[in-house]
Amino acid sequence: MKDDFIAKNKGTASSRFFVFSLGVSNFAISAMPLLVSLLLVDIGNTFGTDVGVTSQMNTAHSVAAVIFALLISALSMRFSYRFLLVVGLVLSSVSALGCFLALDFPTMLALYALSGAGYVMVYSMSLALVGKHLALERRAGP
């Protein structure tokens, strides 16, 4: 049952749309750290914190991403790739909504760290699904 959709639909129009949607999800997930980096001064002014303290948001994002990158290898053996991809998208969405509604900086910092976990789940699972979708002879390489 694990990822039967891909096995049944190799080479069809829906499978090409599937690969395109994985690329769009990677692009959407990658935009959040870039936007936060550009808005660090404004975030600091909003919550009354220094820019140096506010820049720790990127550190929290990276630490959570590293921790979840180690955990995702074990989780991907137990759960399907598509399930973990959806969980990563949900984590990122909850994180973005929570950061938008955060009333203080520590709450925003914790919720933004959650987006690091979602980022690594979406990115690694989308690469695994593309690798599973494309035949070995169609992949780029020597």
106 Rama sector, left if φ>0, alpha if ψ -120 to 50, beta otherwise:
alpha
Residuewise pLDDT in 10s, the chain (142 residues): 445 555 555 555 556 677 777 778 778 777 778 888 888 889 889 888 988 888 888 889 989 999 999 999 888 889 988 899 899 989 989 998 998 999 999 999 999 999 889 989 988 888 888 777 776 666 666 6
Q: Which tens digit of pLDDT belongs to each residue from 69-94?
A: 999 988 888 998 889 989 998 998 99
Residue 49: φ, ψ to 5°: -115, 160
CA distances, 37 to each of 3, 7, 32, 73, 116 (Å): 36, 40, 9, 28, 14
Its pTM stands at 0.75
